[in-house]
Amino acid sequence: MAQHDYINRKPKSNKGKNNKPVSQRKPFPTFLAVAALVLISGFVYGLWYIKTNADPAQVESVQKTAPVAKQVDKVLEKPRPPEFLEEIKNHEIKVDVKEIKRQGPYQMQCASLRKYSEAEALKAKIAFAGLVAEIRRTEGSNGVWYRVRLGPYDSKRKAESDKNKLKRIHIVGCAIWGWT
């Protein structure tokens, strides 16, 4: 038989649920319970009063209108003559089709960098996305720049699609414009 340690055992405390002392618990809100009971009994009494004190003339008038609704349903059930089917088959719709002007080929530039090695690193990162980029060297009044470009694209939609692919690999800031 197991031995019990009566010396180190903690005495039972005066705690209830949630480890709060019984004296600190909030009392049950009896006012709310009484108010709910009064509201429910008032509602039930109101329903009983309406049922027992209804005007018989109004009840009969409501019951007489129900068969009229059935007669209206019978009137609506008549089928339409098949003339409208022939009208639909022979009807023509004229639509003006406008030609969309092509803006021309598009290009996308993702960066303009001072160092060729940085441009090569960006080109490699674009290649991992499955796209082909080129590096163009340009000289301006403020020095040499290396532009990382993609294209040409036949439509702007294709360029936007590639731009979204680049955004997924965190290359942002690419600009799309007409091919020059």
133 and 140 Cβ atoms separated by less than 8 Å: no
Average pLDDT estimate for 112-134: 95
pLDDT computed for residue 148 by the predictor: 96
Average the pLDDT over 120-132 and give the result.
95
Comparing 44-53, 132-141, 155-164, the range with the smallest average pLDDT is 44-53
pLDDT of 53 reads 83
Note if the bond before 152 is cis, omega within 30 degrees. Answer: yes
Q: What is the DSSP string of 71-103?
A: HHHHHHTPPPPTHHHHHHHH-----PPPPPPP-
Gap between the Cα atoms of 77 and 70, Å rounded: 11
Which residues fall within 8 angstroms of residue 16, CB to CB, at 6 or more apart? 22, 25
- Is pTM, for the whole model, over 0.85? no
Q: Which domains does the chain have, with CATH numbers?
A: 106-178 (3.30.70.1070)
Cα 116 to Cα 77, 99, 141, 166: the distances in Å are 81, 43, 18, 20
What tokens appear for 124 in the block? 């490699």
Handedness of CA 85, 86, 89, 94 (dihedral sign): negative
